[in-house]
């Protein structure tokens, strides 16, 4: 009854994640090359022919770069998106083997239940997803300018969450990006900062029922190459947690998760993550 998560790539230059049970394999986004996607799956013991579904969060290139080629090379794949996103990409890939839904819909793929929820991002209609199997929840929350109460309620009970920590605010403000790009990233339709990710994690812990505290894994995701680093993201978040009296252990070698409480790691654009079981 295992339930697993793996990041093939996560960052502002390309995103692709795998969710799987013993019977079902789902990809979320196709923002890297088809070759890297297939090789990434094979490196963690998953044959690309096992993938049955590809979920799209929104139409930006770092999420749909290889959508067309993967649908061609892996003819068993059915792609999924909301209507707004599909309107933005369907002329590129065609209508075959695609399922559209309304943001907020819940549906089932194999033995995994999927819940979509809208995010705040400057796209046609960005969504993120939570996945449910055997009483466990895995969530991916990236590409949102802020975490409103509605979004928080979608992810607050996650056993594992890939949570955007895109940039350090000071590094972004002092960096070489044009003003309008900085304003976009920092805006309500942009991306979560390290500080915003920390705020979200603190709220998740603070609002958790003390009698039902769970082992929780947080993977900082979608880091900017220009305006962040894994070390900076982890330090910012862990320092904020420490200020709140919350301890967070680093995920061990190979992605092992031990004990209760919160364990943290960073997933990057350059390497395939370990496979995490929840």
Q: What is the domain partition of the chain in residue ranges?
A: 3-277
**Do 217 and 161 meet the contact criterion of CB atoms below 8 Å apart?**
yes
Q: Domain 3-277 belongs to what topology?
A: Metallo-beta-lactamase; Chain A (3.60.15)
**Do 144 and 120 meet the contact criterion of CB atoms below 8 Å apart?**
yes
Kindly indicate the confidence band of residue 212, based on its pLDDT and cuts at 50, 70 and 90: low
Q: For 105-118, what is the mean pLDDT?
A: 98
| C-alpha to C-alpha distance for 184 and 181, rounded to whole angstroms | 5
Instruction: Tell me the per-residue pLDDT of 91-100, one tens digit each, with 9 for 90 and over.
Output: 877 778 899 9
Give the E-state strand segments of the chain in sequence order.
3-9, 16-21, 25-28, 51-55, 78-82, 98-101, 106-109, 112-118, 127-133, 136-141, 160-164, 216-221, 248-250, 262-266, 276-277
Model confidence at 255: pLDDT above 60: no
Outline where the chain has alpha helix (H): 34-43, 61-64, 67-73, 83-93, 149-155, 169-174, 179-186, 194-206, 230-243
| C-alpha to C-alpha distance for 115 and 146, rounded to whole angstroms | 19
């Amino acid at each position: 009854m295992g339930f697993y998560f793996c990041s093939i790539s996560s960052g502002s230059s390309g995103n692709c994640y795998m969710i799987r049970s013993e019977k079902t394999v789902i990809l979320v986004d196709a923002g890297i090359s088809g070759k890297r996607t297939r090789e990434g799956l094979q490196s963690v013991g998953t044959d690309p022919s096992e993938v049955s579904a590809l979920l799209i969060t929104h139409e930006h290139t770092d999420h749909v770069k290889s959508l067309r080629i993967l649908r061609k090379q892996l003819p068993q794949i059915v792609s999924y998106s909301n209507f707004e996103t599909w309107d933005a990409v369907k002329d590129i890939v065609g209508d075959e083997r695609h399922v559209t839904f309304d943001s907020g819909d819940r549906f089932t793929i194999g033995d995994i239940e999927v819940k979509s929820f809208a995010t705040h991002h400057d796209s046609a209609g960005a969504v993120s997803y939570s996945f449910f199997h055997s009483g466990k929840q895995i969530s991916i929350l990236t590409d949102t300018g802020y975490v409103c109460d509605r979004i928080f309620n979608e992810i607050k009970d996650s056993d594992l969450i890939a949570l955007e920590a895109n940039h350090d605010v000071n590094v972004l403000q002092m960096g070489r990006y044009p003003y309008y790009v900085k304003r976009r990233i920092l805006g309500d339709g942009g991306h979560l900062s390290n500080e915003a990710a920390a705020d979200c994690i603190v709220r998740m812990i603070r609002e958790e029922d003390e009698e039902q505290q769970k082992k929780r894994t947080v993977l900082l995701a979608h880091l900017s190459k220009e305006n962040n680093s894994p070390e900076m993201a982890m330090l910012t978040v862990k320092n904020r947690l420490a200020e709140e009296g919350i301890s967070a252990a680093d995920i061990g070698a190979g992605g092992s998760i031990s004990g209760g409480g919160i364990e943290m790691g960073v997933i990057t654009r350059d390497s395939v993550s370990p496979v995490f079981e929840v």
